[in-house]
A and B are shown apart, each in its own frame.
Chain A
Amino acid sequence: MVTKGQELSRTTTIKNELGLHARSAAGIAEIAANGAANIWLMKGDHKADASSIVDILTLACEKGTKIRIVIEDPADTDILNALVDLVDSGFGE
C-alpha cells in the first residue's frame, strides 16, 4: 500500500540506441506534465524533473543506463506505468 507523501518508484533501463535525446525526453515530459505532483527521473543520485526536457537531458542517459522513475502522489501511478512503458518501447524508434 502506498499512502500520500510516500514515494513510489519503478526502475527501468534505456533501450533505444540513441539514449534519452531531445525527442524522447519531450515524450517523457509531455506525459509527466499531467502529474498531480512532482515526478522525478533518477540516475544514481542525480535527479531530474521529468516534466522538463532540459532537466532530463542533463542526466545524460545513454543506452543501457538504469533509471528510476519516482512519483510523489499515488494518483500518478498510471503515469508512472505509462512512462515505464514508453521507455521500454524504446520510444518507438
Chain B
Amino acid sequence: MRQPVGEIKLKGINASPGICIGRAYLVDREGVDIVEKYYIEKKKLQKEIKRFKTAVKKAQDDIRLVIENSPKELQRARILETHVALLTDKMLYGKTIETIEKEGVNAEWALKQVVANLKSLFLSMADSYLKERASDIVHVSDSIMRNLVGAETENIADIDKRVILVASDLSPADTSQINLEKIMGFITDHGGKASHTGIVAQALEIPAVVGLEHATSRIKSENLIIVDGNTGTVIVNPSEKSLVEYEERKILYEDYRAVITRESHLRAETTDGMQLEVMGNIELPEEVVSVKNYGGDGIGLYRTEFQYMNRAIFPGEEELFKKYKDVVEVIAPMPVTIRTLDINGDKAVASRYSHDEANPALGLRSIRYCLKNPDVFITQLRAILRAAAFGNVRILFPMISAYFEICEARKLLDQAAESLAKEGLPYSRDIDIGIMIEVPSAVILADFLAEKVDFFSIGTNDLIQYALAIDRGNRQVAHLYQPLDPAVIRLIKHVADVAKDKGIKVYMCGEMAAKAHHIPLLLGLGMDELSMNPQSIPNIKRVIRSLSLGDARSFLQEVLKKRTARGVFGLVREAYGDILADKAYS
C-alpha cells in the first residue's frame, strides 16, 4: 500500500517505554531555552547594556555568596573567584557589550553569539583540558542568561498544552527548567539508553526515543507525531492507518503496565512468610519517582557522584543538602541509603586536577579520595546529616578495604556533626552507618569491620571484578566474569554469616540482585534487603513471592557443593527453570 505523502518513520533508541501521540515542540539546539533575537532602538541601546551589566553583577554576587557560605578552603574559593573574574572577562563581557552596540540587538542574542564563538574556538583545540574550558565559559554565561531572561521572557516553562519535546539533547540543567507535567514524551538527536533524558522519562513514565540523529531537522514544531518508546520508533505526520494502529497499541501497553503496577506494590514475602525489602538504586533525585512507581521499599543505593561530574566546581553544602532533602522527603518514611562520593580521580570535575593513573580501579578513588580530601568529604557529610533531619537516612561508605578507613570515616562524620551542632543547624546523627563490601580484603576482615557499622551492603559488580581479577570491559576475559562462580558465592556467604553472627544487617546493591535467577541463592544466603535499578523491582518482588525460604536454604547447600559457575547455573536451571522461563516481566 502506498504511504500517504508526509508520513516519515524514524528509528532511534528506545530509552523509556510507552506510546504517545501529540504535537511536537522543538527546542533550541543549544538547550532548552530558545533565545530570541530582536533589535533595539539606538536610543535604548544604553539601557540594554545596563540590563546586561546588571545581569552580570547579579551573577557575580550569587557566586560571591557561595564563596562566603563555603567552608574556608582555599582551592575551592579560588576556583569560584576565577568564575567571578570570568564573568567580566573582556572576551565575554566586553565583546557582548560591543555586539549589543554594533549590531543593535538584545543582550541575550549578543551573549549567545559571543559564547557560541568562544565555545567553537575552545572545542576546536586539540588539548582535552582546554576543550573542557568551554564548559566553564558556558557555565558562567548560563548564569548571566538566566538573570537576563528572568521571568518575563517566554520560555518553555510557560507551555500551556501537553507536547512532545524534540531537542538535540537535554542536560539535567535543561530538564530542571521544564514544567515536566506538560511533556507527553521526549525525542532527542543524541543520547543512549542510559542517557539523562531516558532516566527522566522513565521516572515520569512517559515514552522517550533518543539517538535519532536528525530528529530536530526532520520535525517541526506543531507537527503531529507518534512516539513509540517500546520499539524506538517515531512517526512524523502519521497516516490515518498508523494513528489507528498506534492508538490500539497504546491501550494494550497501558493495560499491561496497570497489571505490573498493581502487583508491584504487594510485599515481597516468600510462601513461608519471610519478608525481604526490595529497594531501588538511584543516581538522580528524579529517579525516586520511578522507585515509588515500581513499588520499591526505599532507596538502597543513592549514588551521589552525578552532582560532581561535568562541572566547573564541586557543589557546595547547600546545593547538596537541597538535593538530598528532596529525595529523603519524597521517600519518607522509607529509608534512603546515601552512598558517599565514589569518584575516581579522572572522572571528577575539571577543576580538580588528577594525575593520570595507570590503574584507576586500584587507584585514588572513592573513600581513599575522600579521606585524602577531608574538606570535600566534610561538605558532603554535613549535607547528608542535615538532610537526615527530614526523614530516614542511612549513610554508606564505599570501597572500604581496611579497618582504619571506617574508623577515619566515622571520625569525620562525628566532626561534621559537631560542627553542625556548634552552628546550631538542624541535623540528625541518629542514622545507620554502613559500608560497601566490594573489596576482598573487606570480606576477610568482615568480623572486625562489623564492630564499627550497622550494616553491610555487598556491591557485587566490583567485588566480582576484584575477587576474580576480571575487567568486564575487556572482551578477552569478560566471559569469565561470573556472579555464580563458587568463589563469589563463598565470599558472599562469609559476609552474610559474619553479619548474622555480629547481629548487623546485610544488603546487596549490585547488579547480581536484579537478576531473577540469582534470587533463590540470595534468599538462601540470608540477604535482608536487595537493591536494584527501579525497573527490575516488580519482577524481583514477583519472584520472591513465588519462592520459599526453606527450599532456598536447602538449595544453597546443594549449590555449595558445585565446583564451577556452570555447575551452579545448571543447578539453578534444574531447580528453578520456571523462573528463568518467565520473561514476561523482565
Contacts and interface: CB of A to CB of B under 8 A. Distances in A.
Contact of B136 (A22, A29, A62): A22
Contacts of A21: 129, 133, 353
Contacts of B127: 60, 62
Contacts of A57: 122, 130, 133
Nearest to B312: A22
Contacts of B89: 29, 52-55
Contacts of A26: 81-82, 85-86
A51 B407 CA distance: 48
Contact of B86 (A18, A49, A54): A54
Contacts of A58: 121-122, 125
A23 B86 CA distance: 10
Contacts of A19: 129
Contact of B78 (A23, A52, A60): A23
Contacts of A7: none
A62 B125 CA distance: 13
Contacts of A22: 79, 82, 86, 133, 136, 351
A2 to B, nearest CB: 26
B92 interface: yes
B118 to A, nearest CB: 6
Nearest to A48: B91
Contacts, number: 54
A15 to B, nearest CB: 15
B35 interface: no
B137 interface: yes
A49 B93 CA distance: 14
A30 B86 contact: no
B82 A23 contact: yes
Interface in A20-65: 21-23, 26, 29-30, 49, 51-55, 57-58, 60, 62
Interface string B112-155: 00000010011001010110010011000000000000000000
Contact of B82 (A53, A55, A60): A53
B90 interface: yes
Interface residues of B, number: 22
Contacts of B122: 57-58
A23 B130 contact: no
Contact of A54 (B78, B125, B137, B351): B137
A60 B131 CA distance: 10
Contacts of A55: 89-91
Contacts of A60: 125, 127, 130
Contacts of A54: 86, 89-92, 118, 137
B81 A49 contact: no
Q: How large is the interface on A (under 10, 10 to 19, 20 to 34, 35 or more residues)?
A: 10 to 19
Nearest to B353: A18
B81 A52 contact: no
Given A22-B82, A22-B136, A51 B130 contact: no
A26 B137 CA distance: 13
B57 to A, nearest CB: 17
B308 to A, nearest CB: 18
A52 B82 contact: no
Contacts of A29: 85, 89
Given A18-B353, A23-B78, A30-B85, A52 B130 contact: no
A52 B121 contact: no
Interface string B48-82: 00000000000000000000000000000011011
A29 B81 CA distance: 12
Contacts of A62: 127
A16 B79 CA distance: 17
B189 to A, nearest CB: 29
A19 B129 CA distance: 10
A5 B78 CA distance: 36
B121 A53 contact: no
Nearest to A21: B129
B90 A23 contact: no
A42 B310 CA distance: 31
A23 B78 CA distance: 7
Interface in B353-410: 353
A57 B79 CA distance: 15
Nearest to A22: B82
A19 B130 CA distance: 10
Contacts of B125: 58, 60
B353 A53 contact: no
Contacts of B129: 18-19, 21
20 contacts: A18-B353, A19-B129, A22-B86, A22-B351, A23-B79, A26-B85, A30-B85, A49-B90, A51-B90, A52-B91, A54-B137, A55-B89, A57-B122, A57-B133, A58-B121, A58-B122, A58-B125, A60-B127, A60-B130, A62-B127
8 interchain residue pairs of minimum CB distance: A54-B91, A52-B90, A26-B82, A26-B85, A52-B91, A54-B89, A53-B89, A22-B82
Given A21-B353, A55-B89, A58-B121, 15 more contacts: A17-B353, A18-B353, A21-B129, A21-B133, A22-B133, A23-B78, A23-B351, A29-B85, A29-B89, A54-B92, A54-B137, A57-B130, A57-B133, A60-B130, A62-B127
